[in-house]
Chains A and B, each alone.
Chain A
């Protein structure tokens, strides 16, 4: 089955700096890669996703890049703000196989004012 590894497990940045979280996956058949943000005590919220036919996707201050050859994808947050502090999870799935998501273990991002 699919295995997703996520790094780093914790990340601390100063407000205004950029943050990068990286994930690798094992199954070359995976073709859908979402990112979730989870605040303390809340549900995971989908913030951005990318499919394997696209190399990069941006939405305001967040972007995701995908390297299919190397089987890794990354989340980039620019101009970080204190409200970006949360746990971020990457995931991978095959959209034609029930869309079962395999998650990374999460990254605790702290943005210091």
Chain B
């Protein structure tokens, strides 16, 4: 599992409220990613990080912000949740030597009512 955890695993929130999802890794990986998964769209990149305080936008970044103040934590924030942000959110890391490719966390199911 590449030492990746996500919290919370499930969350229900109301439209207009802020929400923060946490991704935590224990193996000092440099690259971390946030994706969302929706039926008919596969997985789409929201934001990614290539180091502490170094982040960049993905293809569906509107309405989301991220922060990475420590190597092990990558936070995804929905400033004001909307129903269109109801989704399953996956965090991923890019493996280093001996662990090629990207590896995903267990996911967070977010419902915005």
Contact = CB atoms under 8 A, between A and B. Distances in A.
Interface of A: 1, 6, 34, 43-46, 49, 89, 91, 98-106
Interface in B28-50: 31, 33, 40-45, 48, 50
B48 A89 contact: no
A104 B42 contact: yes
B104 A43 contact: yes
Contact of B42 (A45, A49, A106): A106
Given A43-B107, A44-B104, A46-B103, A98 B48 contact: yes
Given A98-B31, A98-B48, A100-B48, A49 B101 contact: yes
Given A44-B90, A101-B45, A34 B102 contact: yes
Contact of A105 (B41, B90, B105, B106): B41
B84 interface: no
The secondary-structure label for the interface of chain B is strand
Nearest to B106: A43
Contacts, number: 46
A99 B90 contact: no
Interface of B: 31, 33, 40-45, 48, 50, 56, 58-59, 90, 94, 100-107
A46 B102 contact: yes
Given A89-B42, A104-B42, 11 more contacts: A1-B59, A6-B42, A44-B90, A44-B104, A45-B104, A46-B102, A49-B100, A98-B48, A99-B102, A101-B45, A102-B59
A9 to B, nearest CB: 9
30 contacts: A34-B102, A43-B90, A43-B104, A43-B105, A43-B106, A44-B43, A44-B90, A44-B104, A49-B100, A89-B43, A91-B43, A98-B48, A98-B50, A98-B56, A99-B31, A99-B102, A100-B33, A100-B48, A100-B58, A101-B33, A101-B43, A101-B45, A101-B102, A102-B45, A102-B59, A103-B42, A103-B44, A104-B42, A105-B41, A106-B42
A43 B6 CA distance: 12
A104 B42 CA distance: 6
